[in-house]
Amino acid sequence: MSFSRNSKVEILKTTQIDDDTTALAFLSGLFHSCGQIEKKNGKMFFKIVSDVEELFDFVSALTQRFFGMEVNPQLAENYNINKNTYYEISFEVDKFKNMLLDAGVLDLVDGQLGIKFDLDKNLLLEEETRRAFLKGVYIGASTSSIKLSQDMVQSCGSGYHLEFSSQSHQFLVDLSHILAEYSIIGKIFERKNSFVLYIKDAQTIQDLLALVGADNSVLELSNEIVTRELRNKVNRQVNCINANINKTVEASLKQTNAINIIENTIGLESLPEDLQEVAVLRLANPEESLDELLKLSTIKLTRSGLNHRFRKLIKIAESLEE
């Protein structure tokens, strides 16, 4: 399973709802985030559509326990999208009217039922109901591109991205205000025919996961952050080592070529004694760095002194070529 789906299943397994108000808040989060309205056989239905199969046993048990009514999950009509199987659970509006009104997703105006797009603030006054609402929203509308390293054969990238998508801009604005109360700040933008509230900061995503009760996912993300930082550190060190090796090889080739030019024209014996020694030393050890050559040298030289002599040899070779 993906990191996103795992976190949703974890929330369902660890969530304990003990009263009907908290149950309504959870259902309100679901309805606002992944609810759909449809008319079938002359009746109106409010549907929840999700690829998290475990959600529907949870919702069925919730409605049976607190509202005394049964609902049954079934495969959605377009049940397979992007290799994900989607399920739906339908609430007949006439049958569940009171529950849908109390959950703040339907409104009764002049005796007429209508969809209520803004959130019921009275339902979210208590800390417990706000968290239950956010759990419902997270399960219903969140997606994440986070992939854990242990699940990937190759590097899974370095970015972190979690988002909520909705057809309603106002819903995401209201959601962002609730999250801001917990110092969780996201940004909203329009994507084609929908809107997206997204978070890209790893620590903020961890705070959100902790808020909705996905503690194991918080730990997994923490481990992923450490793993990626360690991998990036190792990559930087390897790149640095490779750069130094390339630099050493390039310098050695340039020095060796210069010495060969001198040897093939005026001969090494024409050089001053101090330059002869370093020329022979380099020819005998073409792959060694300056530091290694200093260890092999029989005369006392500093690194800059040795480098200075090689520059002299290169200058002599350049003058001979001219």
pLDDT of residue 137: 95
Q: Is 227 exposed, middle or buried (0-12, 13-18, 19+ CB in 10 A)?
A: middle
Query: Which pLDDT value is given to residue 73?
Result: 63
User: pLDDT per position in the chain (322 positions), as tens?
Assistant: 688 899 999 999 999 999 999 999 999 999 999 888 888 888 888 888 888 989 988 998 898 888 888 776 665 655 555 667 788 888 888 888 888 889 888 887 777 777 787 888 888 999 999 999 999 999 999 998 888 876 544 445 557 899 999 988 999 999 999 999 999 999 999 988 899 999 999 999 999 999 999 999 999 999 988 888 888 888 888 888 888 888 888 888 898 898 898 889 888 888 888 888 888 888 888 888 888 888 887 777 888 888 888 898 898 888 888 7
User: Terminus-to-terminus CA distance in the chain, angstroms?
Assistant: 69
The reported pLDDT for the residue numbered 171 is 92
43-50: strand order across its sheet: 35-40, 43-50, 84-92, 73-81
pLDDT reported for residue 79: 59
Contact in structure between 52 and 88 (CB atoms under 8 Å): no
CATH of domain 3-213: 3.10.28.10
Residue 153 pLDDT: 44
Which residues make Cβ contacts (< 8 Å) with residue 321, sequence separation at least 6? 261
Which pLDDT score is estimated for 287?
A: 80
> Under DSSP, is residue 10 helix (H, G, I), strand (E, B) or coil?
helix
- Number of C-beta neighbours around residue 162 at 10 A: 25
Alpha carbons 182 and 110: distance in angstroms, whole number: 37
- CA-CA-CA-CA dihedral for 118, 121, 126, 130, to nearest 10: 10
The answer to whether residues 8 and 138 touch, using CB atoms and an 8 Å cutoff, is yes
Residues of the chain with CATH 3.10.28.10: 3-213
